Amino acid sequence: MSRVSLKKSGLNFGHPPETIAFWKRLVREALSLSTPTPLYIFSALPIAERLAEFDAALAGAGFQFKTHNSKLRIQHWLSCKTLPVAPLLRWWREQGRPIEVVSEFELRAALSEGFAPENILANGPAKHHWLPRFELRELSVNLDSRAELDALLPFAKKLNWRLGVRLLTSEEYDPDHPQFPTQFGFAPDEAVTAIKKLQRAKARIETIQFHLRTNIPSGQVYERAIAEVAEVCRAAKFNPLQLDIGGGLPVRHVLTRGGKVFDGEFGLRAFAQMLRRASKPFPELREIWLENGRFVSAGCGALVVKILDVKERRGLRQLICNGGRTMNALASLWEQHEFLLFPERTGKETLTAVCGPTCMAFDQLARLPLPRSLRAGDHLVWLDAGAYQLPWETRFSHGHAAVLWHDEKGLRPARELQSFENLWSQWK
């Protein structure tokens, strides 16, 4: 298996050799099992490595993990929406870590995989339309609106929920239209009113939360947002026990469409030091909560597709594959990921479009220089497919892809390639 020539393509993804060797081994093993493609492979090992690296930086800044002393603790929550794969949930629970959910389906998944309610955090908007159906004690819930507060407060008191208030800071906005805010959380004045109402009601309010967006380029953005959170807490005379800063740390080894790395200005050590510095205005703070999805899991996945046909016209070579953007990799619309080639192909390169099998011109996984020696029957491996590709997967004229899961116990099937019978049997 070979890599796309980074020198000739002009793209530098920065994967270390051991990472490439790891994925080559897993893909060879997957194909040796005659697993049909398109195929996702997800592995727990890159997640464990990313968390260990992150925790080392946080520990260097003085944070603690799984302790009950007076020092400030860090808590990682699994972002279920990022990669809702049952074996991952089981693996994460076995690590003794909690999970964050944003929908009824995700809550049911967490409960099905054995998470206790006290290790589940419910986030997201409009939860009052489904959360009351669950009689779960000790749940953690971050309130998103006045309507949620009014509807859920009686349940929160009855079931001893650990409540938080989500704040919309000025650092949170629609990335496509920065002049507009997102639809989440309370505005600062609304948040002060909400906190005071919860205090008067003697609810168990412990948390203040914000979540900016994805691929935040610098820790300074978080620092400014935390300063706004501190102002709101002072105005409400509220000393939170938990500061939930959401997720959004930038992904590694993935490029923008313009060829820039997403994490070019970001460093874990500087981020950890910023958190220590920014947490000082919260005198009773016990924990900082992190809900990073893309940063933790992007590197844990790969998409394997097979070349079905080859065309060439107007100076562009086109590989028609059995998986692509429309079905399996929506993020390829704004991201560039590194490719591995299986078997190894070398020689003269030409501008090539990697296309999926659907009847949409939109269905192009990438356009880049690739060896002319690639032919039908070869496989292409699109790395860093562990974040959001699976939940955004479609069944456009096809079924869902097969999934293999890998952890300390080895590689094994987690989901079969969807059959027509399975797809069509849903209809009455």
Do residues 237 and 323 both lie within one domain? Answer: no
For 112-132, what is each residue's pLDDT tens digit? 999 999 999 999 999 999 999
The partner residues of 80 in beta bridges, in order of sequence, read none
For 269-293, what is each residue's pLDDT tens digit? 999 999 999 999 999 999 999 999 9
Do residues 27 and 90 both lie within one domain? Answer: no
Do residues 228 and 318 both lie within one domain? Answer: no
Q: What is the mean pLDDT of the chain?
A: 96
Do residues 280 and 219 both lie within one domain? Answer: yes
**Ramachandran bin of 398, using left for φ above 0, alpha for ψ from -120 to 50, beta for the remaining angles:** beta
Do residues 224 and 266 both lie within one domain? Answer: yes
Instruction: Dig out the tokens for 167 from the structure.
Output: 């704040």
The CATH number covering residue 366 comes to 2.40.37.10
Task: Using pLDDT thresholds of 50, 70 and 90, give the confidence band for residue 333.
Answer: very high
Task: Using pLDDT thresholds of 50, 70 and 90, give the confidence band for residue 3.
Answer: confident
CA dist 18 and 29 (Å) reads 17
Task: Using pLDDT thresholds of 50, 70 and 90, give the confidence band for residue 374.
Answer: very high
The string over 204-214, giving b where at least 16 C-beta atoms fall within 10 Å of a residue's C-beta and e elsewhere, is: bbbbbbbbbeb
Q: The whole model's pTM is what? A: 0.95
As a whole number, mean pLDDT of residues 69-96 equals: 93
The CATH number covering residue 249 comes to 3.20.20.10
In a domain, 362, yes or no: yes
Of 235, 269, 290, the residue that ends a domain is 290
Domain count, the chain: 2
Do residues 183 and 332 both lie within one domain? Answer: no
Q: 188 in helix, strand or coil?
A: helix
CA dist 261 and 273 (Å) reads 23
Nearest of 64, 86, 82 to residue 73 by alpha carbon: 64
In a domain, 359, yes or no: yes
Residue 294 confidence (pLDDT): 96
Do residues 169 and 305 both lie within one domain? Answer: no
In a domain, 322, yes or no: yes
Do residues 237 and 317 both lie within one domain? Answer: no
In a domain, 336, yes or no: yes
- Cβ atoms of 240 and 207 closer than 8 Å: yes
Domain around 363: 2-43+299-418
